[in-house]
Amino acid sequence: MKKRIIPALPQPLIRFQHQALNRLRSRLLEDLSREYWAILLGRTEIAGLTEVVTIHEILFPGSDDYIEHSRAFLKLKKSYIHRALRELQARPELNTIVDVHTHPFCRSSVGFSGIDDADEISFARFLHERFDGLKYASIVLSQTEYSARMWDY
C-alpha cells in the first residue's frame, strides 16, 4: 500500500507574536496586482488534540527570488527555499516551516487552488524524505480572510 501525504485534521492553531500577523498581511497584500509569498519559521507543540504552531520568524523573498510573479501565479527560485531551510536547521528550537501566499483577486473567502495542492504535496514529500521530524503548514490569504492547513505524511 502506497503512503499518501494529506492535510492533517483538525486545522492547526497558528500563534503569532504581537502584531506580527498584521504586519505579514500588510506587507503581502500591499500590492494587489500580484501574488506574494513569505516563509514562517516556528515551533509546533501538541496541546491536547491540537497542534499549536508558534511563529518565531518571518522571511520575505526579495524581488530577485521570484521566477514568475503575477496576479494569479507565482514561482520562487529554489535558492530562496534552500536559504529558509538552512535558517530553520541552524535553529534547533524550531521544527516547523509554514509557507504563506496570497490570492489578491479574492476579496473575502479564500481556499487553496489545485495548483497549491499539487505544489504543497510535492513539497511535503520532499520535506518528509529529507528532514526528520520537520513539520509543514501552509496559509493562503485573501484580502480579508485566510485558510490554513497542517500537512502530515
Domain boundaries in the chain?
A: 11-152
The fold of the 11-152 domain, in CATH, is Cytidine Deaminase; domain 2 (3.40.140)
Q: What is the pLDDT of residues 15-66, one digit of tens each?
A: 999 999 999 999 999 999 999 999 999 999 988 878 899 999 999 999 999 9
Mean pLDDT, range 108-126, rounded to an integer: 93
Whether 119 shows a pLDDT value over 60: the answer reads: yes
b/e sequence 6-45, b meaning 16+ C-beta within 10 Å: ebbeeebebebeeeebeebbeebeeeeeebbbbbbbbbbe
**What's the mean pLDDT when you consider all of the chain?**
91
